[in-house]
Amino acid sequence: MKSELAPGDAALNVLAVSVDNPRDLENHFIWEKLAGYPWAIRIAIDCSDSSMLQICHHKASKNFAKLAREFLLQNDAFYKMLDQARRLDIPDRIEGHVRQIANLKFLACDEEDLLMIDDLRRKALEIAIESGAHLQKCFTPLYLDNFQPPELPSELTTERYFKALRNFRTKFEIVVTSTKDIHAAQKEIFIAFQTFISGLIDDILAIMGPPPCGFDLRAMGSIGRREICPYSDLEYMILIAEDTPKVNTYFVTFAKIFELQIACFGECPDVLPFDFTCLARPNVKG
């Protein structure tokens, strides 16, 4: 059913203002602000208002770009982390930070974000010059683009998220209606779900940088049993290779950003005060 509200006014009435400091993930007021984004997106979709939908996605996506800015530029954090990896001679971590720069382009929303990425690349090149010959190959991706400035992605962050979730649910419908072997179907659906979740994790690593130790994100419940449905509850745990305050802080924040990503879909009633989805009625448990 189409909304009776005027498209632009309806979306703007519930659209939360941009969050000034999204890194403060303990602040419940921030979560309340973010609650407005999926509701505004839903209204824009119902009203077939493409211009307003773009505005809503931009405002929602911008918060992830702001998170990256907070983590990487505050106190020159990115430069210090990369320089530390150089001084400690840890090639894997250097390569992880170089990949981080490349993946940040998928979070960019405007010219401000592109300038941030270009600034990080320049800082990385400064460290590359100071690095020994055996570490130069770690910086190779920085030279392959011939120093061309990054370009804005074709899709905003939350547009990608909505599309990825829609693709997973479409894949589910195709598999269950075309595959007679239930075990083969479960395997194919689980792989599709892994692809969906991997995209979210890639963005978290782009924001926070490479993890301080090895980790494994494990699904529990029906997903852990590979009995996934389109609206299954998402229950998970994170296994970590080391138990230190630094590692714990990293993964607590990792989990909060992950939950923030999931909240963007508007299907988490414990977090958001709305019961809706852009695709179909969700499981009322979340």
d(CA 196, CA 192): 6
Token look-up 């007021």 returns 29
Q: Which residue has the higher pLDDT, 16 or 226?
A: 226
pLDDT at 26 over 90: no
Q: Write down the pLDDT at residue 48.
A: 83
Tell me which of 12 and 48 has the higher pLDDT: 48
Domain boundaries, the chain: 7-16+25-263
Task: State the pLDDT at residue 23.
Answer: 53
Q: Which residue, 29, 38, 28, is CA-closest to 60?
A: 38
Mean pLDDT of 243-270: 85
87-92 contact pairs (CB < 8 A, 24+): 89/132, 89/135, 91/135, 91/138, 92/210
Confidence of residue 104 (pLDDT cuts 50, 70, 90): very high
State mean pLDDT over 107-130: 94
- Residue 217, classified by CB atoms within 10 Å of its CB into exposed (0-12), middle (13-18) or buried (19+), is middle
Instruction: State the Cα–Cα distance between residues 165 and 168, nearest whole angstrom.
Output: 5
Is the pLDDT assigned to residue 280 strictly greater than 90?
Answer: no
Query: For position 101, what pLDDT does the model report?
Result: 93
pLDDT of residue 121: 93
pLDDT band, very low/low/confident/very high, at 191 (cuts 50, 70, 90): very high
Rg, Å, the chain Cα set: 20
- Other C-beta atoms closer than 10 Å to the C-beta of 40 total 25
Are the C-beta atoms of 197 and 258 separated by less than 8 Å? no
Looking at the chain, the whole-number percentage of residues with pLDDT higher than 90 is 51
180-196 CB burial, b ≥16 within 10 A, e <16: eeeeebbebbbebbeeb
Confidence of residue 130 (pLDDT cuts 50, 70, 90): very high
Find the distance separating the first CA and the last CA of the chain, reported in whole Å.
Answer: 23
pTM: 0.82
Contact 139, 94 (CB under 8 A): yes
| Three-state DSSP class for residue 237 | strand
Rounded distance, CA 150 to CA 121, Å?
Answer: 10
Closest CA to 124 of 100, 153, 159, 158: 100
